[in-house]
Amino acid sequence: MQTLTIQLPGRSYNIGIGTEIVDSDLPQAVAASGTTHAVVVTNTTIHNLYPNRISQSLSGWQGRVDTCVLPDGEGYKNLETLNRIYDFLMDVQANRKTLLIAFGGGVIGDMAGFASATFMRGIPFLQVPTTLLADVDSSVGGKTAVNHPHGKNTIGAFKQPVHVCMDLAFLRTLPPREFLAGYFELAKHGFVHDAKLFETIQAGPLVNAEYDYRANEAESREFWEATILRSCGVKGKVVEQDETETGLRATLNFGHTLGHLIETHAGYGAYLHGEAVGTGMLFAAYLSRKWEHLQERDWSRIRDFLVPRLTPIVLPALNTKSFQTLILHDKKAEGAGVDFILLHKLGAGFIQKATSVETLWPVFQEFVAEFPEVCQVV
Ligand SMILES: NC(=O)c1ccc[n+]([C@@H]2O[C@H](COP(=O)([O-])OP(=O)(O)OC[C@H]3O[C@@H](n4cnc5c(N)ncnc54)[C@H](O)[C@@H]3O)[C@@H](O)[C@H]2O)c1
Ligand SMILES: [Zn+2]
């Protein structure tokens, strides 16, 4: 197992990364937290695949474990489902020392994290991510949220976990489509902050919509452990410098302005978050080239990497007005403009403050015309 420490004043924590580590790493972290009560938050899919996996791994621990099972899906990442967590915590008489354990992907992590940030003004929280996306992105950095019908992740809080137990053995059951979605967020860290990481990914196993982690595990396990560790390191460094996104951290939103528009406009759950971000990154790189920040060579490397892997997106009708409304509802919007993340070069993202949405609309139309296999508006 490898350990990465995220250093934040008074809130530092470790991320344990490895394969089949949950039975050793988790009990240790839970014991170190000093609690006597843990509540596992998970969903029906994970609960069926891994029934009582967390309570089993904590069987040698003296404390009590309760498990709250939520319905599965981005469509449930809302205040109503969040309320079910609060109800459950009340039912099991949780107190301020109760440790909330998120066992699942980004949706569970974001919801359980927000519940832990708000229940009794904050209770401790631990993450056991089970998707590639949660490994490389959502379990690191302390952003938690639920969606509002008109805006993705609009209700949330910053809440750092006390520990992250990243056991890659859970990836064995992850559907290929979900794996690919996480792979886009992994590539994002390369595009925006670490060209070498991008090169490593390109030279690694060929990941596409058919890639099966389990079938390839024997020969690629070391690659994934090292690559996920590196990706967490990239994100961790950014979070250490700008925990609450006053600047630098916003670069990690590369691809997310259009990505969030796709998720909201197509309806939560129609496309996976990572898929929407993949298309959003192609658009952001296209804009970077169009506005002459990015050289042709880097643009074509990014395009050639993304296009064959992207899920074709079909969006309901859009016009200047609805495009603008959707973009400005995005929480990164400021005034009539939006902080748009562009690239200077591969591995170097920057924030273009107050980018006017009027200037984005015609480029989006050109983009859709140029890449009909990637994105269509009907
Ligand atoms: N907090 C952050 O910093 C951050 C960063 C990126 C994304 N996110 C959020 O994360 C969410 C997306 O996360 P996600 O891609 O993990 O989606 P998800 O949590 O919906 O999980 C994807 C699907 O895979 C299933 N699943 C999970 N683990 C599995 C396993 N091991 N085997 C089989 N099936 C499994 C889930 O039940 C679900 O159906 C979005 O809501 C996004 O906004 C948050
Ligand atoms: Zn994301």
Q: How far apart are the first and last CA of the chain?
A: 49
* pLDDT at 363 exceeding the cut of 90: yes
Which pair of structure tokens corresponds to residue 99? 């440790």
- What digits encode the pLDDT tens for the residues 165-188? 999 999 999 999 999 999 999 999
Ligand nearest to the CA of 178: 1
Positions of E strands within the chain: 2-6, 13-18, 37-43, 64-70, 99-104, 125-129, 143-148, 151-158, 163-167, 313-315, 333-334, 337-345, 348-356, 375-377
Confidence of residue 151 (pLDDT cuts 50, 70, 90): confident
User: What number does the ligand 1 atom closest to the CA of 129 have?
Assistant: 28
Which residues of the chain form CATH 3.40.50.1970? 2-174
CATH number for domain 2-174, candidates 3.40.50.12780, 3.40.50.1970, 3.30.420.40, 3.40.640.10? 3.40.50.1970
* pLDDT at 332 exceeding the cut of 70: no
Measured in Å, residue 303 CA sits from the centre of ligand 1 at: 25
H or E stretch at 63? none
- What digits encode the pLDDT tens for the residues 96-106? 999 999 999 99
* pLDDT at 330 exceeding the cut of 60: no
Q: Report how far residue 132's alpha carbon sits from residue 138's, in angstroms, rounded to the nearest whole number.
A: 9
Measured in Å, residue 260 CA sits from the centre of ligand 2 at: 9
Contact 171, 22 (CB under 8 A): no
CA-closest residue to ligand 1 atom 9: 106
Measured in Å, residue 104 CA sits from the centre of ligand 1 at: 7
* pLDDT at 208 exceeding the cut of 80: yes
- What digits encode the pLDDT tens for the residues 274-297? 999 999 999 999 999 999 999 999
- What digits encode the pLDDT tens for the residues 293-318? 999 999 999 999 999 999 999 999 99
Which residues of the chain form CATH 1.20.1090.10? 178-377
Over residues 33-38, the mean pLDDT reads 97
Topology of domain 178-377, CATH: Dehydroquinate synthase-like, alpha domain (1.20.1090)
SS (H, E, C) 240-296: HHCCCCCCHHHHHHCCHHHHHHHHHHHCCCCCCHHHHHHHHHHHHHHHHHHCCCCCH
